[in-house]
Amino acid sequence: MKRSRTAALLLMGTAPILLTACNSDREASRQGLYTSVEACVAATNDSATCKQAFAKAQQDAVATAPRYTSRAECEAKYGAQQCVERNDNAQHSFFGPMMTGFFLSQMMRNGAAMNGFNSAPAFRDNRGDWQRPATGAGAGTGGVYRGGAGTAMVPVSATPDRAVTVSRGGFGESSGSRGAGS
Amino acid sequence: MRRVACAERPDWRAKAAGCGFGFHTIDDAPYWDESAYYAFSLREIERDIEAPTEELHAMALDMVERVVANEAWLRRLAIPEPYWDWIAASWRERQPHLYGRLDFAYDGTGPAKLYELNYDTPTSLFEAAFFQWQWLEDQLARNALPAGADQFNSIQESLVEAFGSIARSIARPFRLAAVRASSEDQGTVAYLRDCALQAGIDCELLAMEDIGISADGRYTDLDDGVIGCLFKLYPLEDMFRESFGQHLPRSGLQLIEPPWKAILSNKGILPLLWETHTGHPNLLPAVFDDGGELPRGWTRKPLHSREGANIAMHLANGQQFASDGPYDGPCIRQASHPLPAFDGRYPLIGSWVVGDRACGMGLREDATPITKDSACFVPHAIVEEARGVLMA
């Protein structure tokens, strides 16, 4: 066969393409992946939210961490000494990775955080890549790959470097409204 | 190779809307056209398209190796000098690339002839990789195609696989950018983002015009995050001359397609390929243009035109065609080799390379021998001819 066995789309078509535009009241989301409450406070200067987000993520980790039937399976993906035994509500025992960070997302307006936040536990696999459950913060985006039985995980990037932008619009000058593809 | 009339799927517009294919109609003119398809034999695909694509791709990469070390050639390709070292370094480091499209004239007989390489900003990707694939599956299910029909199209599988294999060398955060107002380009990057996500790579879209610069010459997204790697559906040569371009070599920004693609997305590569591989059955004779009158049998193309703009064609029989457009600057000449006509339409074959593998194709047909942005995308199928039919 000369064609793809399957071809599916994850996000395309489920929602209109949204490009955040530079608008006047500068509404935007602030998202971060933090390895400690201290790192979160350093980045956001919002101690109360960081503590709440951490506590909620820890609580959610029991329910949403990837699940493995054996410690060995879990350690194959997350590394030695990185997995713990947990129990679900029905007292079934399973193994999952330890929460090694948490993800916090807040809506911002005019540079200030608005009420409310989303948080999720984050796990780091043995390649150093971060991921969080597809449910919780940013839910609705759908699962990307299966971290373990039952839980779809999406990749997350570590908090990027920041730099104050002094100018925008220096690319795209040649195109006008025509496309640039060929 | 045949052009076969075929009933459209009654619900294809709804399907297009459902998967975000908004540009199936552009400025009220149809772009996606499934009232016909092109039928190929497996032998035509494998011998005449797939194998030459892999061979030409290898030849093209080999040319990069020669050109980055040759100042006279870099100058010939009109690549601005401040970018030479940066381009050469990107090649020495073998900075990862994702995809490219080779455009061929082919009529089912004789060798396919390479028109050009689209190795920097190729589009018509979503329609080839996904919507064309869905067309084949649907038409097979409706018994509208011969049983066992196939398609030269593992493009999507190859994209996800290619993203997976370069995931470790993509700097984060990873952003994909295209011109804001172009629905076609936005659709293409949205699709590539989907493929990257399927490979487990976290990434977001950004309008090309929204990219920012910091005081120390680093590129930022709308949250002031420093962009690690930028997939840009935007010509390298345009970035070079725009006001933010000067920061590229020292910004630390990783680009996909990488800087070394500037050598291959340049029609100047065609005379260099011909000079190096004179007489290759899939190449057309090509020379740099001296600006004089265009003789019969030759076509003039600017080094950097896209979508068939600013092409002048003088056929051996004296017929002339020309397209207008915004491009000027140095040109090349290529031996005229008109596209074949099928039912009065002129199909151009776009053969895709993802990673370094030939993995599929899409056809665009126009009403004239110059394929412009008005050309429609028409699906294809691989159909084995029954011997009895051929002999009848």
| Cα end-to-end distance, chain B, whole Å | 17
Distance CA A135, CA B31 (A): 38
Question: pLDDT tens for residues B134-190?
Answer: 999 999 999 999 999 999 999 999 999 999 999 989 998 999 999 999 999 999 999
The dihedral sign for the CA sequence B12, B14, B15, B17: positive
- Enumerate the residues of chain B whose CB falls inside 8 A of the CB of residue A127: 168
Closest-CA residue to B170 (of B197, B146, B209) = B197
Closest-CA residue to B227 (of B236, B235, B218) = B218
- Enumerate the residues of chain B whose CB falls inside 8 A of the CB of residue A162: 223-226
CB contact under 8 A, A158 and B136: no
Distance CA A126, CA A82 (A): 9
Q: Which residues numbered 64-123 in B keep a CB inside 8 Å of some CB on A?
A: 118, 120-123
Instruction: Judge whether residue A141 has pLDDT over 60.
Output: no
Q: Going edge to edge, which strands form the sheet with B219-220?
A: A165-168, B212-214, B219-220
pLDDT of residue A138: 37
ipTM of the complex, rounded to two decimals: 0.90
- Enumerate the residues of chain B whose CB falls inside 8 A of the CB of residue A27: none
Q: Which member of B191, B193, B307 has the closest CB to residue A182? A: B307
Residue from A3, A6, A129 to probe the interface with B (highest B Cβ count within 10 Å): A3
- Enumerate the residues of chain A whose CB falls inside 8 A of the CB of residue B307: 179, 182
Question: pLDDT tens for residues B46-105?
Answer: 999 999 999 999 999 999 999 999 999 999 999 999 999 999 999 999 999 999 999 999
Mean pLDDT value of segment B229-241: 96
A140 touches chain B (CB under 8 A): no
Q: Chain A to chain B, count of Cβ pairs less than 8 Å apart?
A: 212
Which stretches does DSSP call E strand in B270-328?
286-288, 298-302, 312-314, 320-322
Q: Which member of A2, A29, A167 has the closest CB to residue B150? A: A2
B306 touches chain A (CB under 8 A): yes
Beta bridge partners of B301: B332
Q: How far, in whole angstroms, is CA A86 from its chain's centroid?
A: 22
CB contact under 8 A, B121 and A180: yes
Distance CA A49, CA B326 (A): 53
Question: pLDDT tens for residues A10-62?
Answer: 878 765 444 444 443 455 667 788 888 988 888 888 899 999 999 999 988 88
CA distance, residue A92 to nearest chain B CA (Å): 30
CB contact under 8 A, B185 and A5: no
CA-based nearest residue in chain B for residue A166? B214
- Enumerate the residues of chain B whose CB falls inside 8 A of the CB of residue A33: none
